[in-house]
Structure 1
Amino acid sequence: MTSFFLLIVLTTGCVRNQNIVPYVYVNQYINVSLPSYSALNAVGGWIYITGGSEGIIVYRQSFDQFSAYDRHCTYEASDPCGKAYVDSTNTFVECSCDGSQYQLYDGLVIQGPAVYSLKPYQTSFDPISNQLHIFN
């Protein structure tokens, strides 16, 4: 009986990263060698692109690794004013409504009130063709 009670407490006590940002189908290809994406030519570079719920931030983590996150803020996600912007120092992402801050590198929360990270999208990069695929 004690084991059963412990199992119930453990399974109901875990808070998972709930999908609070609306699902929007994403399946985009971008050629990072094009002038409009030139910021992605250097590690640490980033751009905004259309797509997702509120737009997408694309960040170059290394030569062949990219990350992509929805710009939809995760604190009070139903509030229409919440959109994420890269700060002027290019080091973090900040929500326009509540001031929540997220790491540009991986979308994790740095400072609340948000507790959920930015919604990530999957990426796949072909260094031969310079094609970046962003999808969910």
Structure 2
Amino acid sequence: MRKFILIILTGACLISCGKGNPVPSVLVNFQSPIDPNYSALHVVGGHAYAPGGVAGLILYYSQTRGIVAFDRCSSYQPEKKCAVTVDASGLTATDPCSGSKFSLEDGSPVKAPATKSLRSYQVITTPFTIQVVN
């Protein structure tokens, strides 16, 4: 009986482990001086768009995490490569193809039909530059 339960749990783990982020993994290595194009990143809640990723990048100054970066490609039907845009509130981004909304604090979905978070990337900052990598 224990062997049977172990086999079932292992199978369930293997199936669920394969359901990671649906947005394709592509090489990201964006670097820029923090110039007027990115001056909004000096203020909590500020955002900027940058090249890279599948559908571009959103750089966002999170209240709790500092500058974070997400791929603009929606996690809902990523094959369509719909680029999310930051809403007027500055707190969420919307997929124009499906209406899904995502929190910019952590990339998590806040409105269906999306159920997966936006793909996030590592951000390295100095007083004068910003770099986004994976």
Q: 3-state SS of the aligned residue for 2:118?
A: coil
After TM superposition, the score normalised by the length of structure 1 is 0.85
In 2, distance between residues paired with 1:111 and 1:9? 33
Where does structure 2 lack aligned partners over 5 or more consecutive residues?
A: none
* 1:5 alignment partner, SS class: helix
Q: AA paired with 1:19?
A: N
Structure 1 segment 41-120 matched on structure 2, within 5 A? 41-62=42-63, 65-80=66-81, 82-120=82-120
Matched-pair identity in %: 35
One-letter code of the match for 1:42? Answer: V
Q: Match for 1:11: what amino acid?
A: T
Correspondence for 1:11: 10
How many residue pairs get matched?
A: 131
**Matched AA of 2:32:** I
Moved over 3 A (4+): none
* Native 8 Å contact 2:21 2:75 kept in 1: no
**Gap change, CA 1:64 and 1:79, over 3 Å in 2:** closer
Aligned to 1:27: 29
Query: Structure 2: how far apart are the matches of 1:63 and 1:30?
Result: 23
Q: Which runs of 5+ in 1 are unaligned?
A: none
Distance (whole Å) between structure 1 residues aligned to residue 100 and residue 39 of structure 2? 28
Change (3 A) 1:93 1:126: same
* Residues 99 and 11 of structure 1, relative CA distance in 2, 3 Å threshold: farther
Structure 1 or 2: larger helix share? Answer: 2
